[in-house]
Structure 1
Amino acid sequence: MAMKSLPNFNISGGTLDELTSILNRKVFFGYYNKLAAVFPNAENFSPVVSSSSQIVSFTLPQLIQVLSLPKEQIQDLIIISSNIPVQEDSFTVLNNKFTITLSPSSYFSSGLQMKPTQQSQGNKRFTPQFYQKTYELPLVASDRLLKFAENYNKDIPAYATNMNSIVLPSMVESNTQTKEVDLGFCKLPKISNDEEDLEVVMNYFAYASLNGSQVRQLNHTDPYLSRFAFELSDTSQHLKTLSIENNVLDKSVFESFLSQFKNGSLEWYALLFWGSENMVIYIDTVNKSYILWQL
């Protein structure tokens, strides 16, 4: 199905086998903090999605305590400091390594043996000077590192998945939120190859995923305020929405979410992704085809 690009977003379409390849490439290797679905109500279909992902905030002694645990317990902990490369300290956990990067004032009072970062080895008059040390995990903390940690009074933000057994409740700043809403009977959009209709379809699913009232069959919005409802078809269907958000979602969430809808015996459903790419996908399981909007 060949389609033209519309302003501010691109549209593509094809078979469900092609869509599987696209999702594997875009979703499983991207970063998304919200996933939603709009779908018809079905008696035997009640998707359940959960995630143990958490946004946490460590003190440095707490972080050292966690990083000293066996590697299999900390393999899903990710910390990439937002302070890089501004003139602040940073702490990074990535690929089974713990890296400390300190500003001169922190370094000279730390008592740690560190080397200038690669970026600091240029023109010292114009390049901020930072010092760095990398540790293999699990961490074997020296007395100097422990003493430095005790005197370090800044919290360290982190993203953690499947860490319920070791993340203390006092560390948790944000948990993943899952919400299901019954929209009742709603008017449906017109699915066609017409560019204007396709733009309405994309807006429809985005609006419905936010539980917008104007998709409902008994909508009473004054047409002078919005004519959105008049752009829809006369066909109606009982719809629901399901969303999971408030964190970077790990791969297991997508696998569970997509698998349940793929095997849900629905005639159609729409998926929406927010994150490194914003996407709306309409899946027609009867005709085994899809339409993808990339925003």
Structure 2
Amino acid sequence: MSERQDEFLNRLRANAQAVEAVLADLLSGDCRPEEIARPARLLAAMRHGVLNGGKRLRPFLVVETAALFPAAEPAAALRVGAALECIHCYSLVHDDLPAMDDDDLRRGQPTVHVAFDEAAAILAGDSLLTLAFDTIAAPETRLDDATKVALVLALSRAAGIGGMVGGQTLDLAAETDRPEEAGIVTLQAMKTGALIRFACEAGAILAGASDGDRLTLRRYGETVGLAFQIADDLLDLTADAATLGKATGKDAGRGKATLVARRGQAWAEDRLRALVAEAGTLLAPFGARAEILAETARFIANRRS
């Protein structure tokens, strides 16, 4: 392992621990001002769906893209990353429901609707969605109001009808009406790529970076988001459930078309190498400050879980 890879993994682990601490605090039993009560069973279901390990890659991208800019406040970046992780975890809780992807295993443990029940899973997801925006708006997130509004707008667009939720809708439809390749690209850019794109753009937003830097990091996010999805599809074909901590072969079993299924493993591996190179080119203007982000692109493309 190279020194750069070692530094990347150390920072990824440290960030995951820091995000876990913020999430644990957000999901504590203590009521916040203007809350009336926090029902114990709802809170337990939320914690089950969130405090279950994971790489915390999306918050890591928020923190690392913000770190490119001296004006960024690390504590604020961490809280924005935690808010994004709440959105991501809510999507997993709902995606696992019988009416959606119907999965029993997530990160090596029973999914929320299995550990609790379907109603608890739906409500836990709903609560995590609203908690995300609560976290950004809260006074503990030390950003000016205009920056908070910009973050809320960008996250809403990434997570909603024209982003993640819309992508899940297209994904469900793809089980019976298989899209052409362009349709697959659109679906995946929405369902998976939109939140990763936001994670990278958020660092520029909260740092008050220029429009040019924001666009560059948005494009970097789109690039690594596509790499993430291709790597995920490749793992669905080649990995086992014990390694991934979730069921494999689900796309093929449901008749869903993916780019990897259409083009093959060799194409996927070549495309991943090209996306890593593209990410490096986008980051070049930031020089040595972006070395960890370049390593992140390699990690995403080559991940095994």
Q: Would you call these one fold, judging by a TM-score over 0.5?
A: no
The higher radius of gyration belongs to 1
User: Of Structure 1 and Structure 2, which has the larger fraction of its residues in helix?
Assistant: 2
Relative contact order (alpha carbons < 8 A, sep ≥ 6): 1 or 2 greater?
1
* TM-score with structure 1 setting the length: 0.21
User: Of Structure 1 and Structure 2, which has the larger fraction of its residues in strand?
Assistant: 1
* TM-score with structure 2 setting the length: 0.21
